[in-house]
Amino acid sequence: QVQLVESGGGLVQAGGSLRLSCEVSGLTFLDYRMAWFRQAPGKERDFVAAVEWGGEYTYYGDSVKGRFTISRDNAKNLVALQMNSLKPEDTDVYYCAALSRYGHIKTASAYPYWGQGTQVTVSS
C-alpha cells in the first residue's frame, strides 16, 4: 500500500518560514519523481515544486521561485519543502505527490499517488 504522509503545515505570519515534510512508503522511492502542489477550495491544484530521482534537478512554479526549496532524502524516503518569505497568497492546502518515469512533472493529473494534504495559512 502506497502512503504519502505530509507534516509541518500550520499558521505563520507573512515573511515567516515553514518546512513541510512528506514521508513515503509502499513504493521504490528512487523510481519516483516527487512534487508539491497546492490547492485552494474550489480551485485547481497548482504546481509548486518538483525534484527528479537523484535530487540534482529541481523545478519551481513562478510564484515561489527564490522563496521555496524542494529537497529529497533517498535514504529516508523523505521529500521536504522549505518555504521562506511566506505571503498571504501562499495560503492553501499543500499536497505531496509521486510520479514514476513517465508523465509531465508539472501536471497534477499525471501523478498517481498523493498525500492527504497539510494546511498552510499565512496571516498578513
Residue 102's pLDDT band (cuts 50, 70, 90): confident
Residue whose entry in the numeric block shows the C-alpha cell 507573512: 14
Predicted confidence (pLDDT) at residue 110 exceeds the cutoff of 90: yes
- Looking from the CA of 80 toward its CB, the CA atoms found within 13 Å total 12
pLDDT at 101 over 90: no
Q: How confident is the model at residue 103 (pLDDT cuts 50, 70, 90)?
A: confident
CA distance 99 to 52: 10
Question: pLDDT tens digit string along 3-53?
Answer: 999 999 999 999 999 999 999 999 999 999 999 999 998 999 999 999 999
CA distance 58 to 103: 16
The pLDDT, as a whole number, for residue 54 is 86
Q: Which tens digits make up the pLDDT trace of 43-93?
A: 999 999 999 998 889 999 999 999 999 999 999 999 999 999 999 999 999
Over range 108-123, report the average pLDDT: 97
